[in-house]
Amino acid sequence: MSEEWTETPQHPIDSGFGHGSTAADVIEGIDLTGKSAIVTGGYSGLGLETVRALVSAGAEVTVPARRPEHARGVLQEAGLTDVGVEHLDLADQSSVKEFAARFLAGHDTLDILINNAAIMASPEERVGPGWEAQFATNHLGHYTLVNELWPALAASGSARVVSLSSTGHKLSPIRFEDINFSAGYEKWQAYGQAKTANALFAVELDRRGQSSGVRAFAVHPGGIMTELQRHLPKEEMVAAGWMDAEGNLREGFKSPEQGAATSVWAATSPALAGRGGVYCEDCDVARPTDKNSPLARYQGVDAHAVDRAEATKLWNLSAEMTGVNAFG
Protein backbone atom coordinates (compact mmCIF):
# COMPACT_ATOMS: atom_id res chain seq x y z
CA MET A 1 0.00 0.00 0.00
CA SER A 2 0.98 3.62 -0.40
CA GLU A 3 3.25 4.96 2.30
CA GLU A 4 1.11 8.11 2.21
CA TRP A 5 -1.69 6.30 4.05
CA THR A 6 -2.60 7.96 7.31
CA GLU A 7 -4.88 6.60 10.01
CA THR A 8 -7.87 8.67 11.11
CA PRO A 9 -8.45 8.60 14.90
CA GLN A 10 -11.62 6.80 16.01
CA HIS A 11 -12.85 9.85 17.89
CA PRO A 12 -15.70 12.38 17.38
CA ILE A 13 -14.91 15.52 15.36
CA ASP A 14 -17.77 17.65 16.75
CA SER A 15 -19.70 17.65 13.49
CA GLY A 16 -22.50 19.89 14.74
CA PHE A 17 -25.08 17.19 13.97
CA GLY A 18 -26.45 14.42 16.16
CA HIS A 19 -28.98 11.70 16.92
CA GLY A 20 -31.96 13.72 15.77
CA SER A 21 -30.44 15.16 12.58
CA THR A 22 -32.05 14.20 9.28
CA ALA A 23 -30.55 13.52 5.86
CA ALA A 24 -31.96 16.86 4.70
CA ASP A 25 -30.18 18.61 7.59
CA VAL A 26 -26.73 17.21 6.83
CA ILE A 27 -26.89 17.75 3.07
CA GLU A 28 -28.15 21.34 3.25
CA GLY A 29 -25.85 23.61 1.26
CA ILE A 30 -23.97 20.75 -0.43
CA ASP A 31 -23.96 20.72 -4.24
CA LEU A 32 -23.60 17.31 -5.90
CA THR A 33 -24.33 18.51 -9.43
CA GLY A 34 -22.36 16.39 -11.88
CA LYS A 35 -21.66 13.70 -9.26
CA SER A 36 -22.73 10.07 -9.68
CA ALA A 37 -23.91 7.84 -6.86
CA ILE A 38 -25.05 4.27 -6.29
CA VAL A 39 -27.19 3.28 -3.29
CA THR A 40 -27.88 -0.43 -2.86
CA GLY A 41 -31.27 -1.02 -1.31
CA GLY A 42 -32.18 2.55 -2.21
CA TYR A 43 -35.88 1.91 -2.63
CA SER A 44 -37.02 1.20 0.93
CA GLY A 45 -36.57 2.50 4.46
CA LEU A 46 -33.50 4.60 5.07
CA GLY A 47 -32.13 3.70 1.62
CA LEU A 48 -35.01 5.56 0.00
CA GLU A 49 -34.38 8.61 2.20
CA THR A 50 -30.66 8.43 1.36
CA VAL A 51 -31.51 8.55 -2.34
CA ARG A 52 -33.95 11.42 -1.78
CA ALA A 53 -31.24 13.49 -0.09
CA LEU A 54 -28.60 12.82 -2.77
CA VAL A 55 -31.04 13.67 -5.56
CA SER A 56 -32.05 16.88 -3.77
CA ALA A 57 -28.40 17.98 -3.91
CA GLY A 58 -28.17 17.32 -7.64
CA ALA A 59 -26.54 13.88 -7.79
CA GLU A 60 -27.26 11.37 -10.54
CA VAL A 61 -28.30 8.28 -8.57
CA THR A 62 -28.52 4.63 -9.60
CA VAL A 63 -30.39 2.14 -7.43
CA PRO A 64 -29.53 -1.53 -7.99
CA ALA A 65 -32.41 -3.80 -7.01
CA ARG A 66 -33.22 -7.49 -6.92
CA ARG A 67 -36.76 -6.59 -8.05
CA PRO A 68 -36.26 -3.66 -10.48
CA GLU A 69 -39.92 -3.18 -11.36
CA HIS A 70 -40.90 -2.99 -7.70
CA ALA A 71 -38.06 -0.53 -7.05
CA ARG A 72 -39.12 1.68 -9.98
CA GLY A 73 -42.68 1.78 -8.70
CA VAL A 74 -41.60 2.80 -5.19
CA LEU A 75 -39.22 5.48 -6.48
CA GLN A 76 -41.84 6.91 -8.86
CA GLU A 77 -44.41 7.01 -6.07
CA ALA A 78 -41.85 8.90 -3.98
CA GLY A 79 -41.41 11.45 -6.77
CA LEU A 80 -37.89 10.24 -7.59
CA THR A 81 -38.57 9.71 -11.28
CA ASP A 82 -35.04 10.50 -12.51
CA VAL A 83 -33.33 7.77 -10.50
CA GLY A 84 -31.86 4.95 -12.56
CA VAL A 85 -32.77 1.38 -11.59
CA GLU A 86 -30.76 -1.70 -12.54
CA HIS A 87 -31.00 -5.37 -11.63
CA LEU A 88 -28.64 -6.62 -8.92
CA ASP A 89 -28.81 -9.61 -6.60
CA LEU A 90 -26.08 -9.23 -3.98
CA ALA A 91 -26.29 -12.93 -3.12
CA ASP A 92 -25.33 -13.83 -6.70
CA GLN A 93 -21.74 -12.99 -7.60
CA SER A 94 -22.47 -13.20 -11.34
CA SER A 95 -25.30 -10.70 -10.95
CA VAL A 96 -22.96 -8.31 -9.10
CA LYS A 97 -20.36 -8.50 -11.86
CA GLU A 98 -22.98 -8.02 -14.57
CA PHE A 99 -24.37 -4.91 -12.85
CA ALA A 100 -20.88 -3.44 -12.44
CA ALA A 101 -20.07 -4.07 -16.11
CA ARG A 102 -23.27 -2.29 -17.19
CA PHE A 103 -22.53 0.66 -14.92
CA LEU A 104 -18.94 0.98 -16.15
CA ALA A 105 -20.15 0.87 -19.75
CA GLY A 106 -22.16 4.03 -19.13
CA HIS A 107 -20.05 5.87 -16.55
CA ASP A 108 -16.40 6.85 -16.40
CA THR A 109 -16.54 7.84 -12.75
CA LEU A 110 -18.39 6.96 -9.56
CA ASP A 111 -18.24 9.54 -6.77
CA ILE A 112 -20.41 7.99 -4.05
CA LEU A 113 -21.16 4.34 -3.35
CA ILE A 114 -23.41 3.59 -0.38
CA ASN A 115 -23.60 -0.11 0.46
CA ASN A 116 -26.96 0.11 2.21
CA ALA A 117 -28.77 -3.14 1.35
CA ALA A 118 -28.82 -5.93 3.91
CA ILE A 119 -30.67 -8.90 5.32
CA MET A 120 -30.97 -9.39 9.08
CA ALA A 121 -31.45 -12.41 11.33
CA SER A 122 -32.78 -14.46 8.44
CA PRO A 123 -33.47 -18.20 8.57
CA GLU A 124 -30.49 -20.34 7.63
CA GLU A 125 -29.82 -20.20 3.92
CA ARG A 126 -26.90 -21.12 1.69
CA VAL A 127 -26.02 -19.23 -1.48
CA GLY A 128 -23.32 -19.60 -4.13
CA PRO A 129 -20.88 -22.39 -3.23
CA GLY A 130 -22.52 -22.98 0.17
CA TRP A 131 -21.87 -19.57 1.72
CA GLU A 132 -23.95 -18.45 4.72
CA ALA A 133 -26.45 -16.00 3.26
CA GLN A 134 -26.07 -13.02 5.63
CA PHE A 135 -22.29 -12.92 5.22
CA ALA A 136 -22.56 -13.55 1.48
CA THR A 137 -25.19 -10.88 0.88
CA ASN A 138 -24.23 -8.15 3.33
CA HIS A 139 -20.46 -8.48 2.94
CA LEU A 140 -19.27 -10.57 -0.01
CA GLY A 141 -21.79 -9.06 -2.44
CA HIS A 142 -20.68 -5.54 -1.56
CA TYR A 143 -17.01 -6.58 -1.49
CA THR A 144 -17.26 -7.75 -5.10
CA LEU A 145 -19.34 -4.74 -6.09
CA VAL A 146 -16.69 -2.29 -4.86
CA ASN A 147 -13.84 -4.21 -6.45
CA GLU A 148 -15.62 -4.49 -9.79
CA LEU A 149 -16.49 -0.77 -9.73
CA TRP A 150 -12.96 0.18 -8.69
CA PRO A 151 -11.96 1.76 -12.07
CA ALA A 152 -14.81 4.30 -11.77
CA LEU A 153 -14.19 4.96 -8.08
CA ALA A 154 -10.49 5.57 -8.66
CA ALA A 155 -11.22 7.78 -11.67
CA SER A 156 -13.34 10.09 -9.50
CA GLY A 157 -10.29 11.26 -7.57
CA SER A 158 -12.37 11.95 -4.47
CA ALA A 159 -14.84 9.08 -4.19
CA ARG A 160 -16.39 7.94 -0.93
CA VAL A 161 -17.64 4.46 -0.12
CA VAL A 162 -20.03 4.09 2.81
CA SER A 163 -20.51 0.64 4.32
CA LEU A 164 -23.57 0.24 6.53
CA SER A 165 -22.73 -1.64 9.69
CA SER A 166 -24.72 -1.50 12.95
CA THR A 167 -24.44 -2.15 16.65
CA GLY A 168 -25.07 -5.71 15.54
CA HIS A 169 -21.29 -5.87 15.11
CA LYS A 170 -21.11 -6.20 18.90
CA LEU A 171 -22.73 -9.65 18.65
CA SER A 172 -19.81 -11.38 16.95
CA PRO A 173 -16.30 -10.87 15.59
CA ILE A 174 -15.35 -12.61 12.34
CA ARG A 175 -15.48 -16.36 12.90
CA PHE A 176 -12.49 -17.21 10.74
CA GLU A 177 -12.54 -20.80 12.02
CA ASP A 178 -16.13 -21.33 10.75
CA ILE A 179 -17.23 -18.32 8.73
CA ASN A 180 -20.15 -20.17 7.11
CA PHE A 181 -21.56 -21.63 10.34
CA SER A 182 -20.98 -25.20 9.20
CA ALA A 183 -20.97 -26.36 12.82
CA GLY A 184 -24.42 -24.89 13.58
CA TYR A 185 -26.33 -21.74 12.65
CA GLU A 186 -27.37 -18.94 14.98
CA LYS A 187 -29.11 -16.09 13.16
CA TRP A 188 -28.02 -13.22 15.42
CA GLN A 189 -24.41 -14.31 15.57
CA ALA A 190 -24.44 -14.61 11.78
CA TYR A 191 -25.86 -11.10 11.50
CA GLY A 192 -23.26 -9.82 13.95
CA GLN A 193 -20.43 -11.35 11.94
CA ALA A 194 -21.78 -9.76 8.75
CA LYS A 195 -22.00 -6.32 10.37
CA THR A 196 -18.47 -6.66 11.74
CA ALA A 197 -17.40 -7.54 8.21
CA ASN A 198 -19.04 -4.37 6.88
CA ALA A 199 -17.07 -2.29 9.39
CA LEU A 200 -13.75 -4.04 8.75
CA PHE A 201 -14.27 -3.69 5.00
CA ALA A 202 -14.29 0.09 5.36
CA VAL A 203 -11.05 -0.01 7.36
CA GLU A 204 -9.19 -2.01 4.71
CA LEU A 205 -10.72 -0.31 1.68
CA ASP A 206 -9.70 3.06 3.08
CA ARG A 207 -6.15 1.82 3.50
CA ARG A 208 -5.99 0.44 -0.02
CA GLY A 209 -7.90 3.25 -1.71
CA GLN A 210 -6.52 6.36 -0.06
CA SER A 211 -3.70 6.84 -2.56
CA SER A 212 -6.35 6.98 -5.31
CA GLY A 213 -8.45 9.52 -3.40
CA VAL A 214 -11.02 6.91 -2.35
CA ARG A 215 -12.07 7.12 1.30
CA ALA A 216 -14.30 4.62 3.08
CA PHE A 217 -16.48 4.86 6.16
CA ALA A 218 -18.57 2.42 8.18
CA VAL A 219 -21.88 3.71 9.48
CA HIS A 220 -24.33 2.70 12.20
CA PRO A 221 -27.59 4.36 11.11
CA GLY A 222 -29.35 3.88 14.45
CA GLY A 223 -32.37 1.85 15.42
CA ILE A 224 -35.00 2.22 12.70
CA MET A 225 -38.09 0.12 12.00
CA THR A 226 -37.93 -0.80 8.28
CA GLU A 227 -38.27 -3.83 6.01
CA LEU A 228 -34.98 -5.02 7.52
CA GLN A 229 -37.04 -6.51 10.37
CA ARG A 230 -39.15 -8.61 7.99
CA HIS A 231 -37.77 -11.91 9.33
CA LEU A 232 -38.54 -11.05 12.98
CA PRO A 233 -41.85 -11.89 14.67
CA LYS A 234 -43.37 -9.13 16.79
CA GLU A 235 -42.94 -11.27 19.93
CA GLU A 236 -39.18 -11.35 19.43
CA MET A 237 -38.98 -7.58 19.01
CA VAL A 238 -41.08 -7.06 22.15
CA ALA A 239 -38.82 -9.46 24.07
CA ALA A 240 -35.78 -7.53 22.84
CA GLY A 241 -37.26 -4.30 24.20
CA TRP A 242 -37.60 -2.66 20.79
CA MET A 243 -41.34 -2.09 21.24
CA ASP A 244 -44.12 -2.70 23.72
CA ALA A 245 -46.94 -5.19 23.29
CA GLU A 246 -49.01 -2.57 21.46
CA GLY A 247 -46.23 -2.05 18.91
CA ASN A 248 -45.04 1.33 20.20
CA LEU A 249 -41.31 1.76 19.56
CA ARG A 250 -39.02 2.40 22.50
CA GLU A 251 -37.51 5.84 22.96
CA GLY A 252 -34.37 6.33 20.89
CA PHE A 253 -35.57 4.74 17.66
CA LYS A 254 -35.07 6.96 14.62
CA SER A 255 -37.29 7.82 11.69
CA PRO A 256 -36.01 6.72 8.25
CA GLU A 257 -35.09 10.37 7.57
CA GLN A 258 -32.94 10.41 10.72
CA GLY A 259 -31.58 6.94 9.99
CA ALA A 260 -30.33 8.05 6.57
CA ALA A 261 -28.50 11.06 8.01
CA THR A 262 -25.24 9.38 9.03
CA SER A 263 -24.86 7.64 5.66
CA VAL A 264 -25.44 10.91 3.81
CA TRP A 265 -23.11 12.77 6.18
CA ALA A 266 -20.32 10.23 5.68
CA ALA A 267 -20.79 10.34 1.91
CA THR A 268 -20.83 14.11 1.51
CA SER A 269 -19.61 16.09 4.52
CA PRO A 270 -16.69 18.47 3.87
CA ALA A 271 -15.70 17.89 7.52
CA LEU A 272 -14.54 14.39 6.54
CA ALA A 273 -12.12 15.55 3.84
CA GLY A 274 -8.80 13.85 4.45
CA ARG A 275 -10.36 11.32 6.83
CA GLY A 276 -11.52 7.74 6.46
CA GLY A 277 -11.50 4.18 7.70
CA VAL A 278 -13.60 5.00 10.76
CA TYR A 279 -16.94 3.84 12.17
CA CYS A 280 -19.56 6.59 12.44
CA GLU A 281 -22.82 7.01 14.36
CA ASP A 282 -25.21 9.90 14.98
CA CYS A 283 -23.57 11.96 12.21
CA ASP A 284 -20.10 11.93 13.74
CA VAL A 285 -17.13 9.64 14.15
CA ALA A 286 -18.00 7.21 16.94
CA ARG A 287 -16.06 6.69 20.14
CA PRO A 288 -14.57 3.30 21.01
CA THR A 289 -17.04 1.35 23.15
CA ASP A 290 -16.91 2.12 26.85
CA LYS A 291 -17.35 -1.39 28.21
CA ASN A 292 -18.29 0.00 31.63
CA SER A 293 -21.18 2.03 30.26
CA PRO A 294 -24.74 0.72 30.64
CA LEU A 295 -25.15 1.72 26.97
CA ALA A 296 -22.16 -0.31 25.78
CA ARG A 297 -24.45 -2.59 23.73
CA TYR A 298 -25.87 0.38 21.82
CA GLN A 299 -23.12 3.00 21.58
CA GLY A 300 -19.57 3.12 20.28
CA VAL A 301 -17.57 0.69 18.19
CA ASP A 302 -16.00 -2.49 19.59
CA ALA A 303 -12.29 -2.99 18.98
CA HIS A 304 -12.77 -6.11 16.83
CA ALA A 305 -14.74 -4.11 14.24
CA VAL A 306 -11.95 -1.59 13.56
CA ASP A 307 -8.92 -3.86 14.02
CA ARG A 308 -6.53 -3.28 11.10
CA ALA A 309 -5.02 -6.76 11.18
CA GLU A 310 -8.49 -8.35 11.22
CA ALA A 311 -9.51 -6.06 8.34
CA THR A 312 -6.59 -7.18 6.19
CA LYS A 313 -7.23 -10.84 7.06
CA LEU A 314 -10.90 -10.49 6.10
CA TRP A 315 -10.02 -8.77 2.81
CA ASN A 316 -7.63 -11.56 1.88
CA LEU A 317 -10.22 -14.22 2.75
CA SER A 318 -12.90 -12.38 0.77
CA ALA A 319 -10.58 -12.23 -2.24
CA GLU A 320 -9.95 -15.97 -1.92
CA MET A 321 -13.66 -16.80 -1.59
CA THR A 322 -14.82 -14.62 -4.50
CA GLY A 323 -11.78 -14.73 -6.77
CA VAL A 324 -12.07 -10.92 -7.02
CA ASN A 325 -9.46 -8.37 -5.94
CA ALA A 326 -8.92 -5.05 -7.71
CA PHE A 327 -5.67 -4.64 -5.78
CA GLY A 328 -4.29 -8.14 -6.39
Q: Which of 43, 143, 185, 191 is catalytic?
A: 191
Nearest to 93 by CA among 160, 132, 43, 140: 140
How far apart (Å, rounded) are the C-alpha atoms in residues 56 and 183?
Answer: 48
Active site residue 191: yes
Nearest to 280 by CA among 166, 170, 194, 172: 166
Residue 24: half-sphere exposure toward Cβ, Cα within 13 Å: 4
How far apart (Å, rounded) are the C-alpha atoms in residues 198 and 99?
Answer: 20
Provide the β-strand partners of residue 243. Answer: 249
How far apart (Å, rounded) are the C-alpha atoms in residues 284 and 256?
Answer: 18
How far apart (Å, rounded) are the C-alpha atoms in residues 38 and 63?
Answer: 6
Nearest to 39 by CA among 111, 108, 92: 111
The type of residue at 12 is P
151: how many CB neighbours lie within 10 A of its CB?
A: 14
How far apart (Å, rounded) are the C-alpha atoms in residues 5 and 202?
Answer: 14
The SS3 call for residue 78 is: coil
DSSP per-residue codes, 206-258 = HHHHGGGT-EEEEEE---B-SGGGGGS-HHHHHHTTSB-TT-PBPTTPBPHHH
Catalytic residues: 191
